[in-house]
Structure 1
Amino acid sequence: MDLQQRINAFAKLGEFIEQFSTEGFKKNEKVNANALFFDGFKHQIKLAHEHNGWFTQENIAFSLSGWSKLLKKNTIENWLEKYNLNHISPKKVAIVMAGNIPLVGFHDFLSVLICGHEVIVKQSSNDKHLLPYLAKYLEHLEPGFRDKITFTEEKLSDFDAVIATGSDNTARYFEHYFKNKASIIRKNRNSVAILTGKETDKELKALSEDIFRYYGLGCRNVSKLFVPKDYEFDAFFNGVYDWHPIIHQNKYANNYDYNKAVYLMSEFDLLENGFLMLKQDASYGSPIATLFYEYYNDIDDLKSLLNENKNNIQCVVSKGITEDSVAFGQTQHPHLWDYADNVDTIAFLLKI
């Protein structure tokens, strides 16, 4: 199986998952092996939600829609263009996946296989239904993948390199456990937004997508705002109001009520609108239904602060204030070359 065959297989996988969009599930009879796999995948989506209440059909479909846009033949070829994948010595690469949002480990899965390596996947118990089914579809399209993909719930063994994602605590365990292996170890990261007070209603509405998508559980979700002194939050609250139905999701509402009670008992000052709380706090990782904020006086001082804390930050959302700024509303639409923690996964996989 050569590189072009691998690219073609993933492009066909993209056509399959394109049927499961946020606009509804619509069967396309032209898609390969649909009679065998379409209804089965609908069932896996149902199981994923039943197993994990955060994985609503809307959020699963949002993830699938994003991947269907990325898994285009030309897009994959453009991504890989700068790498030399012609002389790969196949290795066994273990992936320890997180489970905070649907298919959060798919990029690592794609990267390992597209390079021609064998993948051993240890999934989170929170996200264990979707990827194995998509892997079976991939194997059906391209039988060469059948001896390249393994899922395990056992202790990892017999592998050459590892990509592991977890909390700061689990990362310390990973660093010790995998100390003799080539590795990428990912820790907690959060995303921030810089506001100036000059944002349009459209930009603030777009920012609400960065905040609330996946209930704020992803590392690319904005969990903190930096705002100028004397910033008025009325415009911000108006901008995010379209997301107010989120409070009707029981798991989100329970977190909102619990965190609000904790804050009030601790006599913290809060700003809130019935579905989101704002708390002044220097930390980066805010609880569900809460957004931290911090004031700044000078934009250059703020840039220095963000640079000092870059290992805690996944994305900076702003109107071009920093060199690597992500536009409002775009944190959950990364390109294939937007690597987690800014670590080039393909470059790593070419060196092992």
Structure 2
Amino acid sequence: MPVQPHILDAFIKLGNFLRDFCENKQSETNPWAIKLNDAITKVGHQNGWFTRPNVINALVSWGELLTKEKINLWLSDYDDLDKGAQTTVAIIMAGNIPLVGFHDFLSVLITGNKVITKLSSNDSILLPFIAEFLIDIAPSLKESIQFTQDKLEGFNAVIATGSNNTSRYFDYYFGKYPNIIRKNRSSIAVLTGAETKEQLNELGKDIFQYFGLGCRSVSKLFVPKDYDFRVFFESIFDYQDIINTHKYANNYDYNKAVFLMSDFKIFDNNFLLLKEDVAYASPIGTLYYEYYDDLDTLNKKLLNDAQELQCVVAGSEISNSIPFGSTQDPGLNDYADRVDTIDFLLKL
């Protein structure tokens, strides 16, 4: 059975609204545009990382995805999307980037299920606004959407996103339910030295958008032993204004002081630190790098470490890689941790 028409229509109209809002096509008297502007202001006060440009970036991305054509194409690979009987799914959301849990929310509702959402305190304003908009379009959705800050009760399955540490608690409390429990993942880029300045400039988007706080944000480079970082620094110079954001600058300054006091060798262009390190996840304002001997060996390492990686940015030399500049533009079928959420929901 297809998606229930009123649900599909609500998300399509949400996409239309978000596109018009981000392109400044709405009248200043449009009540929904006024409400969204207020929500963006409030979430910026709530969470200093959620600057207006970053929130708008997230809204632009979702506006581009929520079209009839893209939603239908996404769901065309699945059978029996409307099973008739609703399942209640609890979603525990992260709050590292704006609307980071929206795909889970969309997936639960588009499959005809009910959702109980526990929001992160860092992002507790934007999704309730979107829910209010959807319910205005399709009032019956009011029975399918619930937000809570209390103990989760009355659910049949769980989707929880957190860290390696919180995942142990999620496993303990929710292990008896059908679940998707996500842990820390990182994204990396592999450079050969043959990249153009345009490609490296696009890589800057992968590094700096959302201040590097997302699991799709590149946090480490793999480079050949003779790699010249000057070309990389020159190519990402367009992103220098990030240092004018107070919270980013504080993290950059703190990490620089720690590295210098510890006598670590670092490269520094006054808005990004490069430190050699075998770890994948780097602190804010810092990009780790690691030298490789040959691409075949590196390919094997990355395949072996696939459970730790969200995105690998590279040319065609690396398996399962994506192009420079594309990590922050996932499609509807780009599932977090490569776990198919729709398939999981349809099997409940």
Q: Is the CA contact 1:88–1:115 (under 8 Å) kept in the aligned structure 2?
A: no
Paired residue for 1:83? 78
Q: Is the CA contact 1:192–1:224 (under 8 Å) kept in the aligned structure 2?
A: yes
Residue 236 of structure 1, CA deviation: 0.3
Residue 89 of structure 1, CA deviation: 2.7
Residue in structure 1 matching 2:233, options 234, 237, 260: 237
Residue 322 of structure 1, CA deviation: 2.5
Equivalent-residue separation in structure 1 for 2:121 and 2:213 (angstroms): 16
Residue 103 of structure 1, CA deviation: 0.2
Q: Which amino acid aligns with 2:170?
A: F
Q: Is the CA contact 1:225–1:291 (under 8 Å) kept in the aligned structure 2?
A: yes
Query: Does residue 1:115 correspond to 2:111, yes or no?
Result: yes
Equivalent-residue separation in structure 2 for 1:35 and 1:206 (angstroms): 35
Residue 86 of structure 1, CA deviation: 3.8
How far does the alpha carbon of each residue in 1:49-92 deviate from its partner, in whole angstroms, 9 at most, with x for none? Answer: 01111000000000000000000001000000011114343100
Equivalent-residue separation in structure 1 for 2:96 and 2:298 (angstroms): 29
How far does the alpha carbon of each residue in 1:306-341 deviate from its partner, in whole angstroms, 9 at most, with x for none? Answer: 111111100000012223211100100000000000
Paired residue for 1:8? 9
Residue in structure 2 matching 1:218, options 214, 217, 228: 214
Q: Is the CA contact 1:228–1:297 (under 8 Å) kept in the aligned structure 2?
A: yes
Residue 3 of structure 1, CA deviation: 2.1
Q: Which amino acid aligns with 1:126?
A: N
Q: Which amino acid aligns with 1:102?
A: P
Residue 35 of structure 1, CA deviation: 3.4
Residue in structure 1 matching 2:244, options 248, 251, 258: 248
Query: Does residue 1:280 correspond to 2:250, yes or no?
Result: no
Paired residue for 2:257? 261
Q: Is the CA contact 1:228–1:296 (under 8 Å) kept in the aligned structure 2?
A: yes
Equivalent-residue separation in structure 1 for 2:50 and 2:83 (angstroms): 40
Q: Between Structure 1 and Structure 2, how many residues are aligned?
A: 346
Paired residue for 2:18? 17
Paired residue for 2:309? 313
Residue 20 of structure 1, CA deviation: 3.4
Runs of at least 5 residues in structure 1 that lack an aligned partner in the other structure: none
Q: Is the CA contact 2:188–2:312 (under 8 Å) kept in the aligned structure 1?
A: yes
Query: SS of the counterpart of 2:275?
Result: strand
Paired residue for 1:298? 294
Paired residue for 1:51? 46
How far does the alpha carbon of each residue in 1:180-209 deviate from its partner, in whole angstroms, 9 at most, with x for none? Answer: 100000000010000000000100000000
Q: Which amino acid aligns with 1:230?
A: D
Residue 28 of structure 1, CA deviation: 5.5
Paired residue for 1:27? 26
Paired residue for 1:176? 172
Runs of at least 5 residues in structure 2 that lack an aligned partner in the other structure: none
Residue in structure 2 matching 1:270, options 253, 266, 270: 266
Equivalent-residue separation in structure 2 for 1:244 and 1:72 (angstroms): 34
Residue 8 of structure 1, CA deviation: 1.5
- The Cα RMSD (Å) is 1.3
Equivalent-residue separation in structure 2 for 1:191 and 1:134 (angstroms): 29
How far does the alpha carbon of each residue in 1:254-285 deviate from its partner, in whole angstroms, 9 at most, with x for none? Answer: 00000000001100000010000000000000
Residue 2 of structure 1, CA deviation: 5.4
Q: Is the CA contact 2:277–2:288 (under 8 Å) kept in the aligned structure 1?
A: yes
Equivalent-residue separation in structure 2 for 1:226 and 1:323 (angstroms): 14
Equivalent-residue separation in structure 2 for 1:86 and 1:159 (angstroms): 19
Q: Which amino acid aligns with 2:8?
A: I
Residue 9 of structure 1, CA deviation: 1.1
TM-score (normalizing by structure 1): 0.96
Residue 239 of structure 1, CA deviation: 0.9
Equivalent-residue separation in structure 2 for 1:113 and 1:87 (angstroms): 12
Paired residue for 2:63? 68
Q: Is the CA contact 1:7–1:77 (under 8 Å) kept in the aligned structure 2?
A: no
How far does the alpha carbon of each residue in 1:108-155 deviate from its partner, in whole angstroms, 9 at most, with x for none? Answer: 000000000000000000001100011000000011211000000001
Query: Does residue 1:325 correspond to 2:321, yes or no?
Result: yes
Equivalent-residue separation in structure 2 for 1:90 and 1:28 (angstroms): 38
- Give the fraction of aligned pairs with identical amino acids, expressed as a percent: 52
Q: Which amino acid aligns with 2:26?
A: K
Query: SS of the counterpart of 2:192?
Result: coil
Q: Is the CA contact 1:88–1:350 (under 8 Å) kept in the aligned structure 2?
A: no
Equivalent-residue separation in structure 2 for 1:328 and 1:169 (angstroms): 31
